[in-house]
Structure 1
């Protein structure tokens, strides 16, 4: 297969390119060349997607498939216009869903209004999700047999968000670790390598359909128990964390994976069954945790977001004294 990966230098798109090369495919990555290097064995084409596609991209043998992770509608339009005959695998997001309390998936979950013009995707989840809706529509209008995958929280080695790294850093803990919220709250993650492998398979098979690209939902107590097998988890409820000014999800004052309930009951509880039936094979959370910890140990510059261990200890002391 001749595969074009739009990107290829960071996290998921890089993992896709690497997996495709490992399987023996002819892989080309098109990017600006400013965010890192492509994997060994990959051909690189320079393309700033604010500009028309370069001749180097469209000359030569046609591509069998294209993998695109774009979030800007104009970028998707240009790529589709340049490569209308390839099979498309578009990586979207569960942020296309308008109701974070509802876990309903493709065909059932209500989508955000499409935003067809380019906006700053970091400005708000509404802008990010709405542009992704528009990108999905553009892809499916050009290639009705395209595959659209909507990941939730992607984790694993190389994660630039630092969210799961928060827990991987604590994975060898033997003392008390603050566990946020209700132990029954559902959460789900997907390892970047498992998602990349499935994306390559969808491209190989020229498979179509729209899927929530998520691992099985499980109580956060089970996930943290597997990720931190020797820790003494101390469950601290939502009301206390909110009163102490702890932020959810990500950021320096946050506890990652924790989301306020019931407002976010559905965000990390989507149905993984259709994706699993279509070939997604998630590895155990414990394996992802160990391998993420190894990456953190090998790369001191790796990002970790969330409260510090000193802040955590202070919170636990306040929790006991309440």
Structure 2
């Protein structure tokens, strides 16, 4: 299979290229090359898709399949118009759904598509993904298009550090303690990037079309913490604090600087972690045990060494917060 990945130098694109090469396919990645190297065995073609000529280097070939990862409608429009391919895969997001307050599946309503060709505000991300889905379906044809809506993606090479923070912190506690939110029953669906990539390759090889939510097995934040702690040489003491206390001390939820990753105190967003995923499993998606994902992520964070973290608490900040929490 002659496969073109529009992207391919960040976590999912690289994992997909790696899986496709391993399966015996010829893989080309079109990217600016700023996020890192492509997978071994894949070809990198450097191109800036924000420029009119950004696709010229790959537009003179006919592809068996194109995988589009962008969330910018302008880029997707150019790609669909310029490239010839037998099949298309568009990687969307569960953020497209209009309701995120409870469990759901692919039959749920989505938000209105973004009208413009580019988004900047975070609240427009879902609408932009809806617009991109429509561009691919309309341009390539529904019968030649696979739309995949992943939930939370984690595992090795997670640039967001959402899946890497807890195993890292449990193995590197602050004075043998770890600050954790009082939300152990909160639902979590963590999908290993390697499982998603392997499934996408199988879908391409089998000609699967349609729309699928791709999510991890249902679990809880408490299980993520417990499995992370199980990887530590010595299990640290959790210092449990509630959402009000965390907000008063300027600790953010979910991701980003000065945060507790995966913690999601907004009830109207918990549906993002409660997607059915039944259709994707019926189409062959399999997921590995949570501890295996966390173990591989911990190994990856250790291999990358000392570096700025994209999410979580700095050691000194967490130390001060733990001391404040214990003095209440």
Q: TM-score, normalised by structure 1?
A: 0.91
Equivalent-residue separation in structure 1 for 2:63 and 2:115 (angstroms):
26
Partner of 2:154: 155
Select which of 296, 317, 321 maps to 1:315: 321
Unmatched 5+ residue regions in structure 2?
none
Q: Cα offset for 1:155?
A: 1.0
CA contact (8 A) 1:53 1:79 kept: no
Partner of 2:194: 193
Q: Cα offset for 1:13?
A: 0.6
Q: Cα offset for 1:25?
A: 0.4
How does 1:118-129 map onto structure 2 within 5 Å? 118-121=117-120, 123-124=121-122, 126-129=123-126
**Cα offsets for 1:153-195 (capped at 9, x unmatched):** 2111111112222112124258432221321111111111111
Partner of 1:78: 78
- Equivalent position SS for 1:207: coil
Q: Cα offset for 1:235?
A: 3.2
- Equivalent position SS for 1:188: strand
How does 1:48-197 map onto structure 2 within 5 Å? 48-50=48-50, 51-52=52-53, 54-60=55-61, 62-108=62-108, 110-121=109-120, 123-124=121-122, 126-141=123-138, 142-145=140-143, 146-172=145-171, 175-197=176-198
**Cα offsets for 1:51-102 (capped at 9, x unmatched):** 2464541334x21111110111111111111235421111111121233323
Q: TM-score, normalised by structure 2?
A: 0.89
Moved more, 89-98 or 303-312: 303-312
CA contact (8 A) 1:94 1:151 kept: yes
Moved more, 76-85 or 212-221: 76-85
Q: Cα offset for 1:293?
A: 1.4
Partner of 2:217: 216
**Residues 302 and 113 (structure 1), Cα distance of their counterparts in 2 relative to 1, 3 Å cut:** farther
CA contact (8 A) 1:213 1:275 kept: yes
Equivalent-residue separation in structure 2 for 1:297 and 1:176 (angstroms):
20
Equivalent-residue separation in structure 2 for 1:55 and 1:310 (angstroms):
49
How many residues get paired? Answer: 318
CA contact (8 A) 1:88 1:139 kept: yes
Equivalent-residue separation in structure 1 for 2:325 and 2:98 (angstroms):
35
